[in-house]
Amino acid sequence: RKEVEQDPGPFNVPEGATVAFNCTYSNSASQSFFWYRQDCRKEPKLLMSVYSSGNEDGRFTAQLNRASQYISLLIRDSKLSDSATYLCVVQAGTALIFGKGTTLSVSS
Amino acid sequence: EAGVTQFPSHSVIEKGQTVTLRCDPISGHDNLYWYRRVMGKEIKFLLHFVKESKQDESGMPNNRFLAERTGGTYSTLKVQPAELEDSGVYFCASSRRPQGVTDTQYFGPGTRLTVL
């Protein structure tokens, strides 16, 4: 079983749609949780950290359920510029553990 | 503030040759990490430096890989001799805070290594 598993994707949605990504992790000792965004042939960039209380940043909402070892990302009112690969990332110790990523394609 | 820089951006070498990748972290960042993504797989951790000391090298695949960070500034990752399965994108990341404190890791643009 992979340490971090994500929806296989790709997700193809029209502009304005709401899309949700899910992720599960296997290490119950994981301490920190993140969503990173990676554009084609670019480096991963932190999108947002994820907290148990849930957190929102504009059109993006992230949730963490420690009991279920489940993380989610909701994107509302999708924009063309949201097209990218979204990486679910957990941290145990200092190393980041990445999922394979879910590709989102937003079309007009 | 300049970001993490890596050199070269691309490298194509033949099996058995040696390649050295370089990473310059963000100024003032004591923590430096190396990661790798091979085709079709997720990004995987290789090792972590705090200043010039290796804190965690549990992800290093084998003894053909040697990482150094002399002086605690830039780091090099040498692959000798390179094998076909070493092909992939090698990312470097850096962060500011001491180990044990959650901190954002900022990634460089990566070095795309192709071993023929």
pLDDT, position A28: 85
Are residues A43 and B42, on separate chains, in Cβ contact within 8 Å?
Answer: no
CA-to-CA distance for A9 and B43, rounded, in angstroms? 17
Average pLDDT over residues B31-52: 94
| pLDDT above 80 for B87 | yes
Greater confidence (A52 vs B98) lies with A52
Are residues A94 and B59, on separate chains, in Cβ contact within 8 Å?
Answer: no
Are residues B108 and A43, on separate chains, in Cβ contact within 8 Å?
Answer: yes
pLDDT, position B60: 95
Instruction: Give the chain B residue nearest A93 (alpha carbons).
Output: B100
Average pLDDT over residues A24-51: 92
Which burial class, exposed, middle or buried, applies to B34 when counting CB atoms under 10 A from its CB (0-12, 13-18, 19+)?
buried
| pLDDT above 80 for B111 | yes
Average pLDDT over residues B78-89: 96
pLDDT, position B31: 93
Are residues B48 and A101, on separate chains, in Cβ contact within 8 Å?
Answer: no
Average pLDDT over residues B8-28: 96
pLDDT, position B40: 86
Q: CA nearest B77: which of B87, B91, B88?
A: B91
* Shortest alpha-carbon distance between residue A4 and chain B (Å): 9
Q: Is the backbone of residue A106 left (phi > 0), alpha (psi -120 to 50) or beta?
A: beta
pLDDT, position A52: 82
SS3 for B59? coil
* Shortest alpha-carbon distance between residue A26 and chain B (Å): 15
Instruction: Give the model confidence (pLDDT) of A3-17 as tens digits.
Output: 999 987 899 999 999
Are residues A43 and B91, on separate chains, in Cβ contact within 8 Å?
Answer: yes
Tokens representing B109?
A: 């643009």
CB B67 within 8 A of CB B34: yes
pLDDT, position A35: 96
Instruction: Give the model confidence (pLDDT) of A61-104 as tens digits.
Output: 999 999 999 999 999 999 999 999 999 999 988 899 999 999 99
Nearby residues of A20 by Cβ (< 8 Å), 6 or more positions away: A72, A73, A74, A75
- B102: confidence class by pLDDT, cuts 50, 70, 90: low
* Shortest alpha-carbon distance between residue A87 and chain B (Å): 9
B33 interaction partners in chain A (CB closer than 8 Å)? 94-96
